[in-house]
């Protein structure tokens, strides 16, 4: 889940998310991890050669809510539970993406690889 919170609401939003909103989501059935990541806006907006070569603009969302779970349904439930909470904190409408692990290759039968 990617979204932005303006600077005036930053401290209040961090306190609310970390202290109140995210911990209960980590207890939902099928959720194994809940993370709040904050991007460094200054570094993220540096014009690299790769960015200059692209035709489209790179939009960097400052806030990322990352949910790990045993299935798409569990992750979607956690994301959808958080959407109204972040919007009450003055956040932009979150962009939601689901990434699934399709294949794992192991070096040996007992070790990941």
Is residue 4 predicted with pLDDT exceeding 60? yes
Domains in the chain with CATH codes = 2-112 (3.30.70)
Quote the pLDDT of residue 105. 72
Residue-averaged pLDDT of the chain: 86
What one-character-per-residue DSSP string does 1-64 give? -EE-B-GGGHHHHHHHIIIIIHHHHTTSTTEEEEEEEE--HHHHT---HHHHH-SS-----SEE
Q: What is the pTM of this model?
A: 0.74
Half-sphere exposure of 15 (CA within 13 A, CB side): 4
Q: Which of 41, 35, 33 is nearest to 4 (CA)?
A: 41
Largest alpha-carbon pair distance within the chain?
A: 52
The string of pLDDT tens digits covering residues 38-87 is 987 666 666 777 767 776 666 677 899 999 999 999 999 999 999 999 99
The string of pLDDT tens digits covering residues 10-41 is 999 999 999 999 999 999 999 999 999 998 76
């Amino acid at each position: 889940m990617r979204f932005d919170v303006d600077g005036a609401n930053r401290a209040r939003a961090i306190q609310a998310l970390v202290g109140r909103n995210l911990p209960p989501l980590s207890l939902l059935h099928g959720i194994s991890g809940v993370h709040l990541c904050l991007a460094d806006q200054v570094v993220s907006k540096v014009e690299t050669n790769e960015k200059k070569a692209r035709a489209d603009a790179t939009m960097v969302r400052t806030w990322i809510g990352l949910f790990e779970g045993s299935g798409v349904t569990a992750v979607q439930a956690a994301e959808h539970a958080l959407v109204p909470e972040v919007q009450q904190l003055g956040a932009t409408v979150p962009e939601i993406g689901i990434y699934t692990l399709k294949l794992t290759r192991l070096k040996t039968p007992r070790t990941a690889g």
